[in-house]
Chains A and B, each alone.
Chain A
């Protein structure tokens, strides 16, 4: 009886049951994620079309990015997805304290991702790789730098470096900044959601009878992770062989 009334107090006036409310929340978030997929699809379309037109520019542009930082960020995001999943798990099993701790860890990992992203962006700004009037790239010089650094330069990369039109590399960087920027914006929104979730978790709003906000926030967080799972190979790992 007490658990039933506890469940009922979370059911908004216009829902018949907690289950109906939960299903609505889930469908709502998944439908929203459909729009998110389509939101990114325009940029991915531009990416794929320009990549198919200018493959050598993509090889060169990709070599200007750091696999170390990109890979590190991938690991960070995968970890944050795990912590998020565990936060939902803790909420499902009525472990409020554990849930709050996992959410804090998720926030920390999200901030770490953004920190690394800032390091990457500032390096690009420093190297004049931001598209626009100040864009500057000397492929011959870059090739020499790579060889001086002891990197084995394969025929594929050498050919790309020698034939690339640097204007096309600007296109690569336009899309790099647009896509990762949009992704970072989603991370920032996600961290905002997580902070709100932390606050409401500490206030004790969720129990195993009512965890809709935890669940749907988790869905959003995992989606942002999935976007990065695709961005990492598509931006950092082009023509590395």
Chain B
């Protein structure tokens, strides 16, 4: 038969304990201010938890490379959609607004000439 990797129960329980601990940690850090790092820390902890679930509960650590490739593709395209869309919103204000638009009353054609 195939090499089905049987992970010992102890590992599952260990991972579970780590997940619960990380849940506690994410709540704890939420009540402390780390400035601009707040969201980064929250998402970072979530990523570690997701990685633990994927690697051990979903057996990715012991799976074929092709499954790694597919999992990685999903993450890459998820990030692609979000970053490119966000880049549009972040850069909308970069163009300087012409003065005539920002002060419509003062520079309206009829008023200035």
Interface residues of A (CB under 8 A from B): 7, 18-19, 22-23, 26-27, 30-31, 33-34, 37-38, 41-42, 44-45, 48-49, 52-53, 67, 71, 74-75, 78-79, 81-82, 84-86, 89, 92-93, 156, 208-209, 215, 218-219, 222-223, 225-226, 229-230, 232-234, 237, 239-241
Contact = CB atoms under 8 A, between A and B. Distances in A.
Contacts of A37: 74-75, 77-78
Interface of B: 1-2, 4, 6-7, 9, 12-13, 16, 19-20, 23, 26-27, 30-33, 38, 42-43, 45-46, 49-50, 53-54, 56-59, 63-64, 66-67, 70-71, 73-75, 77-78, 81-82, 85-86, 89-90
B57 A71 contact: no
Instruction: Classify the secondary structure of B's interface with A.
Output: helix
A48 B82 contact: yes
Given A37-B74, A241-B33, A85 B57 contact: yes
B27 A33 contact: no
B74 to A, nearest CB: 4
A45 B84 CA distance: 10
Contact of A237 (B30, B50, B74, B75): B30
Instruction: Classify the secondary structure of A's interface with B.
Output: helix
B2 A218 contact: no
A45 B77 CA distance: 12
Contacts of B49: 226, 229
Nearest to B75: A37
A52 B90 contact: yes
Given A52-B86, A81-B57, A222-B57, A38 B77 contact: yes
A4 to B, nearest CB: 9
B78 A44 contact: yes
B85 A30 contact: no
26 contacts: A19-B1, A27-B66, A27-B67, A30-B70, A30-B71, A31-B70, A34-B70, A38-B74, A45-B81, A45-B85, A45-B86, A48-B82, A75-B20, A78-B16, A78-B23, A89-B7, A208-B4, A218-B58, A223-B58, A225-B53, A226-B53, A233-B42, A234-B46, A237-B27, A240-B30, A241-B33
